[in-house]
Structures are given as C-alpha cells and as structure tokens.
Structure 1
Amino acid sequence: MTGQEPKKRGRPKGKRSSNEHIQVAGYIRKETFRRMKHLLLDEEMEISELLQQLIDDWILLKQNNSSDGG
C-alpha cells in the first residue's frame, strides 16, 4: 500500500458536520408527512433532497416574478 492513503474507518461525513448545510424545522400535517415519506421511499430520495429542490425552485420562481415587475 505504498503511496496510498490508509482506508478511513467509520461513517463518511454527513450534512450535520458540513459547513454548507444547516438544519431547519417546521410543522406539516401528519397525513402530508406520511404520504411524503412513502413517496420518498419509492424514489429512494431523502427529505433533505426534496426540501432543497423545492426551495431552489421557489426561489427561482420568486426571482423571476420580481424581475417581471410583479
């Protein structure tokens, strides 16, 4: 193993220890959460990914609406 880094043990760093991520909280209806969780499992997607995608889309929509003079 000359010239190679030793294999690291343990879990890889996650979003919690990332400087690029923060944790947010909010309240949604239980039924909405249950349905969302089921669909996310089918898609093999994390809640964080869904939130990031939805918020990014919302920001773009708002920015486009404000640049239209609306």
Structure 2
Amino acid sequence: MTGSKFSGLKAMRDRRAQEEDDQASALTPILEEPRRKVGRPPGKRSNPEYQQVTVLLHGQTYLEARKRLLDERKEVSDLINELLTEWLKR
C-alpha cells in the first residue's frame, strides 16, 4: 500500500479544485474587476496614526455620553479626540 489512506481524497479534492478553476477562468471576462476583500475593513486599531489608551471615567458620565453619541452616530474615541484637540489649541 502506497501513500496514506487519505491520499485518494486529497487527489479527488485537488481535481475538483482544478476543475472549478478551469470553469471560473472560462467564464471570467478579460477585464475583470478586482474582487472585494472579505471581512471587516481596517479600523483605528490597525491605523498607525492612532494610539490605544485606557481611561477611567465615572460610570454615569460614560453611559450618558454613549447614549448621546449613539444618536449622533459617533464613537467615544472621536469625541475624546475632538475635546483633546480643542484643549491643546488653548
């Protein structure tokens, strides 16, 4: 007996993948639009211009701020960034 007991399955999977690729390339127009990436777009966490910090806020203040920011479709980090930027301008 040569190979593993799963070698036949691997060969079948490889053939099927090759057939799908062949069918896709036959149906693909010559000028194909680039495919959109799957998943979430990159956010602030992966942006090198942002720095993650930890802040202790009074619970009720944070809750009320989040409620108001939800109505404005804004994030807490955006509000804090705006406030600090204005404070630094003084």
Which TM-score bucket, shorter chain as reference?
A: 0.7 to 0.9
Q: Distance in 2 between matches of 1:58 and 1:12?
A: 31
| Corresponding pairs, count | 61
The structure whose RCO (Cα within 8 Å, separation 6+) is larger is: 1
Residue in structure 2 matched with residue 32 of structure 1 by the alignment: 61
1:13 aligned residue (36, 42, 51): 42
Hey, which bits of structure 1, 4+ residues long, moved more than 4 A?
none
TM-score (norm 2): 0.62
Q: Distance in 1 between matches of 2:76 and 2:38?
A: 27
Q: For structure 2, which runs of at least 5 residues remain unmatched after alignment?
A: 1-28
Residue in structure 2 matched with residue 67 of structure 1 by the alignment: none
Q: For structure 1, which runs of at least 5 residues remain unmatched after alignment?
A: 62-70
Residue in structure 1 matched with residue 5 of structure 2 by the alignment: none
